Structure 1
Amino acid sequence: MPETVHKNRGEPVDHPEGGWGWVVVGATFVSAGLTYGSSIAYPLFFLPLMQEFDIGLGEVTWLTGSYEFGKAIGYLSTPALIAKFGHRGAAMIISFLSGLSISVSSLGPIPIVVYLLAGAIPGMCMGVFGTIFYVVVMRYFSKKRLLAIGLTQTGSALGTLALSPLLQYFIDLYGWRGGMLLLGGLTLNCAVASSLYRPIHLKTDKEQTEEPVCRTLFSSAKTILVIPKFWLVVIISIAVFSGWRAYLRFLIPYAQYLEIDPMTSSFILSIYSIVSMFSRVAFGALGDRKGINIVWLLIATELLTALISGSVWFVDDYAGLLGNSIAHSVTTGTIHTMYVSVICDAVGENNFTWGMTLVGFIYSVLGSWTIPLIGMLVDATGELRLAFIASSSLMTVAAALHTPLIQLKHRLEETKKVNKGVPNQLR
């Protein structure tokens, strides 16, 4: 007998705009800190891995490349996991798998095993988490949605703040293997936080049927894949998030290139995270205000980010690199809060889970190659600063690609105005 989608139980309600929703925000805050935060701090493992396995920067960046590729698999499997186990069940299962895999990676005898256990499998789990985080919060909020997401995303910033020096301390004390083992143990705490994702039945939910899960999910995906605006958002997301990650992945290696000691280098990520916490909440609150054009705001901040990334070429000391990273953290606050709204606008709220899933999947498949390719460019030229030029170029491309979104929005507004003045019987 084919597996079926279970019907929602209980009376449907409107978005609560608070209540238990704030508990969900808090739980997601913790989970984001322990998952996003640790992935951002992964470059701390680059140097120890290069020394133990005698490999170059281009090869060791496959730790993060495999992580991104794993996310692609996770994103694609998310709707099926949610349909089978619900948001809470899926998040708890993934937490155990991720923590266990990272812990076991500490026994890896060769780099490829480490890439698989500490990169690909936790990345797959992060792909599921990366969708559930947003979907669960958005189910509890509508008017305060971007503020709630901004607060949630401060968890990843706080996680980086705490985990960067903590992981460096673990690595100094126990080596990279001990650091991985302890990081895996910390990740298991996400299961406790995920247990607070109480299910909620909204009035806006689609009426579910007894059709097989695979048929229902395929139908939803097919609906989204024929939307031109969706594909434009996908291309923009690939450029903007590849540019952001390229900057962060090579920030610590560049600090070490400037002969800044490892512990001091880790504090650059910590301070970056402190600033990021405030910028994400501020831009989240700003995005919820009426009259704010999110697309124009994204264009402005992405162009500023491109300028900041490119200016690393002229930075040659700790103070300059710290100041540059702080400025970068401020301007990138928009991409962590407002792209959720852009994706939701492109596919519709009822299709948001699949929208996030497909954007994440396509980005992760293509984005998984970005950092290793830049790493190979650095190895080939011997110029580490080229990584930041690549980051700047990607951000500039992303800003330019927003222009069609503005044109589509104007066209839609004009159509609405025309239809508003035409009697119903003539439409």
Structure 2
Amino acid sequence: MNGNNNKICRIFSININSDQDYQTYAAQRKSSVVHETSGQIHSVLNQNEVEDVDSSVDGEFRLKEHNDFSNSQHFQGSGSLLSDRQTSTLPELTNQTPVNVRKWFVLTSSFFNLFITGGFPFNMSVLFVEFLKAFGKSKAETSLVQSVCTGVYSIGGLLTGELVTKFGTKICGCCGALLSAIGIAVCFIAPNLEFLIFFVGVMSGAGFSLNAICASTSVSQNFLPKKRVLALAFVSMGSGIGTLCFPLLLQYFIDTYGWRGCLLIISGIVLNQLACGLMSGPDVIRPAASKFQQNMTENNETGDSNTTLSRLKATLQNKVFIGFCFALSLILAAFDGLIIFFVDFFEQKGFNRTSVVWLYSGMSIASMIFRFISGLIAQSPKVPKLAIPAMCAFLGCISLSLLPFMTSYSLNAVAIALFGSALGGTLTVVSITTLELVGEKKFPTGLGIVFAASGIASIVGAPIAGNFRDISGSYTYSVLSGAGACLLACFIFTLAMIYQRQHGEDPRSRFNMEINVNARWKSRRRSSFLPWRESVDLGFSI
């Protein structure tokens, strides 16, 4: 913002109730006066004033003539009307670094963050065999190390999503890195399986949960809508590459240093997430709250003093989102049931450890490739976001149905590549679809709810698959039950998509408006739109 006499005029909660209304609204404005940010549309001029606008660069616009805001209406977040001409001094906004540079650092750090959070917690199959030998427990009990880790990682999202909303990605990301690293490091002296379940499962799982939400939230804060979907898809590829690399790293570290030394080295790798946390956060730092900001905060929270409860309530009232969460929990539980027992499953089919690790790597490569493909598909406005997980659930059903009956190595490789494609596509659209369904403001909360729902299913799913194996003596029923869960998930995704279309619950039809107007007093004539003279810079802040 420039000038000493900066003024601000804020307009909130301009609702558009259908796609048709949005198309009509957008058609009445030139592109230079419309700026979209994750379900939010930022504009200031109606059809009569578009001729007075001269577009410049970096999202700033200058009026050619001299308009008047005196008859405009200003709204607060809850939609109630404020008095006309209500303005106040706008605090100076300072950029840490140029946004076009800083966002790439954020993207890189988020990529590496998800490389670790998606790589280690979900790829402990190699360690599962070592834990089985070291402690002599049943497969169902031993599987609790990974299932509790992934479960806390997911269920903790309900809490960590709110923590990220309240304290920001920087603080939460750094705390998460320390929790995960310490939880894994102390397992170097683990005396029993219960010790591993608590420190690797609970403690490190909580840290990974914080970092996963921080990574996605930080990307959504730094990229505009047109690039955000592709950025989220790129970041999710970090999990795919982590899934590809970590089994090989774990096997190498185990062969060289044993499983205890392996955990100690992994804790050092995880500690690098501390640097990722320091790089996270939005691209704009606001100064200490001024009187104006305090007043605006009070106005915006008048509708509900408990903002956390109101966010949860509003999110849980979204029927399409609830259906998405339930179906996603089913499909992730099915996938988790195979991934945990992956090494043991294929070794029982007669393949040696090296061949199994290469199968796992092939699955990870297919997953990584399809993550990016799903992101490209999700960019198309003609493709419903719920259609992608429905397709992935169907692919998962087919692959899991075929795996128990495949005998040759090549056929198993084809089936597991299909499984990896389904897994990658599903994981990519978690953040993308959640953002579309709940909007940017409730994104950390919505992502936390998604994590929680899938975490509950993961905690239950892996022990159930292990019990099927212990009772029947083979993994056939475990894998086939996962295929049934994928088929049910595909059906629910399809129903949610149909319901969304029939009831008009398209997130693209919900927009919130927030406009910062920076004006300088001049000495020319006044028009009917702006009470200030000469030129007006419209700067958009998120």
- TM-score tier after normalising by the smaller chain length: 0.7 to 0.9
1:194-343 equivalences in 2 (<5 Å): 194-201=277-284, 208-209=297-298, 215-343=306-434
Matching residue's letter, 1:55: K
Q: Tell whether the 8 Å contact from 2:99 to 2:283 is kept in structure 1 after alignment.
A: no
* Structure 1 residue 83: Cα displacement: 4.6
1:187 corresponds in structure 2 to 270
2:472 corresponds in structure 1 to 381
- Pick the aligned partner of 2:158 from 76, 80, 84: 76
- Pick the aligned partner of 1:143 from 222, 226, 229: 226
- Pick the aligned partner of 1:126 from 162, 187, 208: 208
* Structure 1 residue 263: Cα displacement: 3.4
Q: Name the SS of the counterpart of 1:338 in structure 2.
A: helix
Distance 1:221 1:83 in 2: 12
1:61 corresponds in structure 2 to 143
Aligned-residue Cα RMSD (Å) equals 2.9
Decide which moves more: 211-220 or 250-259.
Answer: 211-220
Q: Name the SS of the counterpart of 1:294 in structure 2.
A: coil
Distance 2:324 2:227 in 1: 23
Q: Tell whether the 8 Å contact from 1:146 to 1:284 is kept in structure 2 after alignment.
A: yes
- Pick the aligned partner of 2:192 from 99, 104, 110: 110
Confirm or deny that 1:94 pairs with 2:176: yes
Confirm or deny that 1:398 pairs with 2:480: no
Bigger strand share: 2
Q: Tell whether the 8 Å contact from 1:57 to 1:375 is kept in structure 2 after alignment.
A: yes
Say if 1:411 and 1:96 are closer, same or farther in 2 by CA, change over 3 A.
same
1:420 corresponds in structure 2 to none
Question: Deviations for 1:71-117, whole angstroms, at most 9, x for unmatched residues?
Answer: 25531322443255420121011101101110111211110111111
Distance 1:322 1:12 in 2: 53
Bigger helix share: 1
Distance 2:505 2:124 in 1: 48
Matching residue's letter, 1:294: K
Q: Name the SS of the counterpart of 1:47 in structure 2.
A: helix
Q: Tell whether the 8 Å contact from 1:273 to 1:329 is kept in structure 2 after alignment.
A: yes
2:132 corresponds in structure 1 to 50
Say if 1:77 and 1:208 are closer, same or farther in 2 by CA, change over 3 A.
farther
1:34 corresponds in structure 2 to 116
Distance 1:403 1:345 in 2: 17
2:261 corresponds in structure 1 to 178
* Structure 1 residue 415: Cα displacement: 10
Distance 1:193 1:28 in 2: 7
Decide which moves more: 163-172 or 342-351.
Answer: 342-351
Q: Name the SS of the counterpart of 1:39 in structure 2.
A: coil
Distance 2:244 2:455 in 1: 25
Distance 2:228 2:360 in 1: 27
* Structure 1 residue 328: Cα displacement: 1.6
Matching residue's letter, 1:133: A
Say if 1:244 and 1:414 are closer, same or farther in 2 by CA, change over 3 A.
closer
Matching residue's letter, 2:482: S
Question: Deviations for 1:108-161, whole angstroms, at most 9, x for unmatched residues?
Answer: 111011111111211111222222222111122311222111111111111122
Distance 2:257 2:164 in 1: 38
Q: Tell whether the 8 Å contact from 1:74 to 1:125 is kept in structure 2 after alignment.
A: no
Distance 1:414 1:359 in 2: 19
- Pick the aligned partner of 1:155 from 235, 238, 259: 238
1:165 corresponds in structure 2 to 248
1:368 corresponds in structure 2 to 459
Matching residue's letter, 1:106: F
Q: Tell whether the 8 Å contact from 2:388 to 2:426 is kept in structure 1 after alignment.
A: no
1:3 corresponds in structure 2 to none
Q: Name the SS of the counterpart of 2:441 in structure 1.
A: helix
Distance 1:98 1:116 in 2: 12
Matching residue's letter, 2:270: T
* Structure 1 residue 315: Cα displacement: 1.7
* Structure 1 residue 238: Cα displacement: 0.9
* Structure 1 residue 219: Cα displacement: 2.4
Q: Tell whether the 8 Å contact from 1:246 to 1:371 is kept in structure 2 after alignment.
A: yes
Question: Deviations for 1:151-206, whole angstroms, at most 9, x for unmatched residues?
Answer: 11111111122221111111122221111111111111111122211433599xxx
Decide which moves more: 118-127 or 262-271.
Answer: 262-271
Runs of 5+ consecutive residues of structure 2 not aligned to the other structure: 1-89, 287-295, 508-542
Q: Name the SS of the counterpart of 2:159 in structure 1.
A: helix
